Amino acid sequence: MIQGKIKTTWTAKDFIKGSWRTNKNHYLSFNTTSKNKQIYKKNVGVYINNTVDEKFEKIANKFKLKNTVIALNKMKPGQILPFHTDTCRTFIKRNKVKDKSKIMRIIVFLQNSEPGHQLWIGNKVCTGTAGSYFGWQYGEEHMAANLGKKDRYTLQITGVKK
């Protein structure tokens, strides 16, 4: 796991604005146990912003990864991504990744953690202020949840270590 903090160069308007979409059937393809799929069903997933300000692309560049893909994610109260490992199928195929162990996923908090906003990597809970980031390599089990009262916003960065 990696962690650190970057300087915040954004305001709430930069990530709240835009067009948010969700995959209503995200739980069907989610890489978790069948029991978790039954338990959490319609609460599994995140909203993804269709428009990403270029300042978030500049943030992703600071991590010096190749083939970087970014997404702005929003979790409404009650949404959860139960413990899982990312398959990165599309990313691997598009980028012809041969060594999956070089794939990194980084989550940057766009706002201060609120009560109930959760990110777990393995058995470590990750909290922090806006600009805090946490990352892991392909195959690491993790989860995220919004068990709080306010929307949770993060920047998700996926790339390959150089």
- Average the pLDDT over each of 27-36, 110-119, 130-139, 140-149 and give the range with the smallest value: 27-36
Q: How many CB atoms lie within 10 A of CB 78?
A: 13
CATH no. for residue 82?
2.60.120.10
Give 23: exposed, middle or buried? Use CB within 10 Å, 0-12, 13-18, 19+. middle
CB 20 within 8 A of CB 151: no
Helix (H) or strand (E) holding 15, with range, is helix 12-16
The total number of structural domains that make up the chain: 1
- Average the pLDDT over each of 14-23, 102-111, 125-134 and give the range with the smallest value: 14-23
The candidate with the shortest Cα–Cα distance to 16, out of 131, 156, 152, 146, is: 152
Residue 40: band (very low, low, confident or very high) from pLDDT cuts 50, 70, 90: low
Q: What is the pLDDT of residues 46-70, one digit of tens each?
A: 888 888 889 999 999 999 999 999 9
Residue 128: band (very low, low, confident or very high) from pLDDT cuts 50, 70, 90: very high
Q: How far is Cα 102 from Cα 107, in angstroms, rounded to an integer?
A: 16
In this prediction the pTM is: 0.90
Average pLDDT rounded to a whole number, residues 116-141: 97
Nearest 5°: CA angle at 157, between 92 and 127? 130
Structure tokens at 84: 């899982």
Q: Which domain holds residue 113?
A: 2-161
Q: Is the pLDDT of residue 87 over 60?
A: yes
Q: Is the pLDDT of residue 29 over 90?
A: no
Tell me the average pLDDT of the chain.
89
